[in-house]
Structure 1
């Protein structure tokens, strides 16, 4: 597939994978993207996962039509992109590997060598001419590893964006970009919003017509939507006004409470209410929803003097991913000593800009008139905040 004049797609699809990075469910597989820029000199942009080395080489050689590459540009050292660096360097002994200092240090860890004598160290502002195609490099540290570099082709107006603007899903599956790009962003990149904001400011000065990420489709045409989404996500802005209710329930009483709260919110005017069972639904989807919406309700049971383990895991994910600038409310259940709200709040107080709802719903075993009145009061408060 030709991306632009002289730029070819040589990546692969993976439908064997069940968990990306050992944790994210990917029912539609993954794409590991790689690109070849064919000019007077030839540069290859990253490699692919270790299981697809031979397929990648075949794709590369089909694009090169008998020529040999001059450069392998390593933008990101995560193994799903760098695993075949050594295969490439052995197969093409005249080639030079191009990467940042940090990336070469990681190569020493992974491959036992920094390819001394065959390496080119690049940094912010470095350039590389391939003939017609003029490349420059943009440092993107912690988007989402410290060694990451973007590459800009000024001739074709193409930004090679490493993992930024990527998404879950193989390229031979039709998917909405936003949903799986959002889940990918908040699960993998989301903690590093400040770093994403910094690199967005850098690339805003470039004339970009096409974005080539390392996962997901090549983005072209009007890029405003993709750039706007990344700006919202990385600044922790609200994308969709609404309420997410994330819950766990042991015997069904907390679930019933959540159902009544969701109904009350809708009746009082909330246009969007999302309910997710943390014990059964994908926690990565729940995390995505928490960052997407303006209000988060956490509903769970008191457990061993604290709160239910599945909820503890989810709240820990929120803290670890830099959750912030949201309204958070609590629903707690406890037959004799409700303590879940206190425990959840203590963890979330580490997060910046959290507005804790004044009303807390407390259920002592099962719903009664008092707890139903608390549901009504909380619904009023949250609808006003939306």
Structure 2
């Protein structure tokens, strides 16, 4: 059964959902699945904006057939060549062999890397500022390289103010039939997942996101159609402001994320004691994570959200406890910066964790150390509580700006 919705006269959502997929990119947990959005414009000329993952091919082709009603497809616009969006290009071309596939040089290079079909005769090259008239509707092409792949483009439909934004402004989480932001509790259902999506998928490329903001800053955007998640037609300012802040690596709010590694519970006990002391001092919005249990993508999301971080971990095999080492590696790879950090190490006979965590954070930009780092010997004893009190005082003073 087809499943489509009109989002503007002559413009339709023709995407679908995959609630069976457990790991996005075989990396990131999907509690509520994911949507793959695609759009069809039925004007004097017809155009599809991006396709979908091959996991939902049957549903997708049925959607197209229902709306096309035997018409020819004139254009297939490829804004993003990642397989979850280009998985049906070949199927579209087989059904519409005369279709013009619209992309840039990098798009077609990547197509040749992923697929065997020769589409040379179908190719239509476009670049920054080029426009494509479909009749009443007109698409202006905006190059957005490295948001978050090198070939990425966006399209601005100049008559309706619709921005087809590729992966930007998207989120994890399947759609529920309500495809617009004003039809759902976006903050309740999607915002946390939108941040997790941004931080882990796009986060490294903040400078490139800022470049796109400069390009679209003068556009009168009325609607944002991403390739994942709800369409924005009401509270565009919410997601635009958050993307601006996230891409500047600015914390959304003051708060503390404590993430620890623990072998036998001693480091965990210290982390919990610190959280309790911070709460006693009036600090709110404290998040505590065991790095061995919680997937790094969730911790990274809160690292993007909050201003202060506390890392606590033991030495392991003369190095840093592996899950903590992995998390810090991901933070470095994603370009995390502009945070205030406190560090607690632990060891029984040879100390390495404290030194290695300090080095990892020093390699990140503008990471300010708050309080004195200290290194426990197996377990923090009652007569050493003053060290934790001093650290809690320093963190609380910074968070509360005392």
Same fold (TM over 0.5): yes
Aligned positions, number: 386
**Separation of aligned partners in 2, 1:178 and 1:133:** 31
Contact 2:18 2:55 in 1 (8 A): no
> Is structure 2 residue 317 aligned with structure 1 residue 304?
yes
Provide structure 2 residue ranges, at least 5 long, that are not aligned to the other structure: 178-183
The match for 2:335 is 322
CA distance in 2, matches of 1:135, 1:109: 27
| 2:137 maps to 1:161 | no
1:112: which partner in 2? 116
The equivalences for 1:12-51 within 5 A come to: 12-51=16-55
User: SS in structure 1 opposite 2:154?
Assistant: strand
Give the SS at the match of 1:383.
Answer: helix
Alignment of structure 1 residues 115-264 onto 2, 5 Å: 115-172=119-176, 176-264=189-277
**Which residue of structure 2 lines up, in the alignment, with residue 266 of structure 1?**
279
**Is this contact kept in 2: 1:104–1:114, CA < 8 A?**
no
Separation (CA, whole Å) in 1 of partners of 2:361 and 2:141: 38
Deviations 1:246-291 (A, max 9, x none): 0111111111101110011111121221101111112111011111
Q: Deviations over 1:91-113 (max 9, x none)?
A: 10121100011001111111235
> Structure 1 residue 53 and structure 2 residue 57: aligned?
yes
- Residue by residue over 1:270-322, the C-alpha shift from the partner in whole angstroms, topping out at 9 and shown as x without a partner, is 12211011111121110111111101100111111121001000000100000
Alpha carbons 1:165, 1:213 under 8 Å: kept: yes
In structure 2, the residue corresponding to 1:165 is in which secondary structure? coil
1:370: Cα distance to partner?
4.8
TM-score w.r.t. the length of structure 2 is 0.94
- CA deviations 1:216-246 (Å, max 9, x no partner) are 0111113111100000100001102101000
Q: Give the conservation status (yes or no) of the 8 Å contact 1:361–1:378.
A: no
1:379 matched to which residue of 2? 392
Q: Which runs of 5+ in 1 are unaligned?
A: none
Q: 1:278 aligns with which of 282, 291, 306?
A: 291
Match for residue 66 of structure 1?
A: 70
CA distance in 1, matches of 2:314, 2:287: 20
- 1:332-347 aligned at under 5 Å gives the runs 332-347=345-360
Deviations 1:66-124 (A, max 9, x none): 31211000000000000111111111012110001100111111123562221110111
SS in 1 for 2:120: coil
The TM-score with structure 1 as length reference comes to: 0.97
- The RMSD of aligned alpha carbons is 1.3
For residues 114 and 238 of structure 1, do their structure 2 counterparts lie closer, same or farther at Cα, with a shift above 3 Å needed?
farther
Q: Contact between 1:266 and 1:272, CA under 8 Å: does it hold in 2? A: no
Asked if the contact 1:300–1:340 (Cα under 8 Å) also holds between the matched residues in 2, the reply is: yes
Residues in 1 aligned to 2:172 and 2:378: alpha-carbon distance in whole angstroms: 41
Give 1:351-362 correspondences, 5 Å limit.
Answer: 351-362=364-375
- CA shift, 1:369, in A, is 3.7
Match of 1:293 in 2: 306
Aligned to 1:11: 15
Larger deviation, residues 348-357 vs 118-127: 348-357
Q: 1:93-104 counterparts in 2 under 5 A?
A: 93-104=97-108
**Which deviates more from structure 2 when the two are superposed, residues 343-352 or residues 81-90?**
343-352
Conservation of the 8 A alpha-carbon contact between 2:371 and 2:395: no
Supply the distance in 2 between the matched residues of 1:52 and 1:103 (Cα, whole angstroms): 22
SS state at 1:372 partner = helix
Is the CA contact 2:173–2:190 (under 8 Å) kept in the aligned structure 1?
no
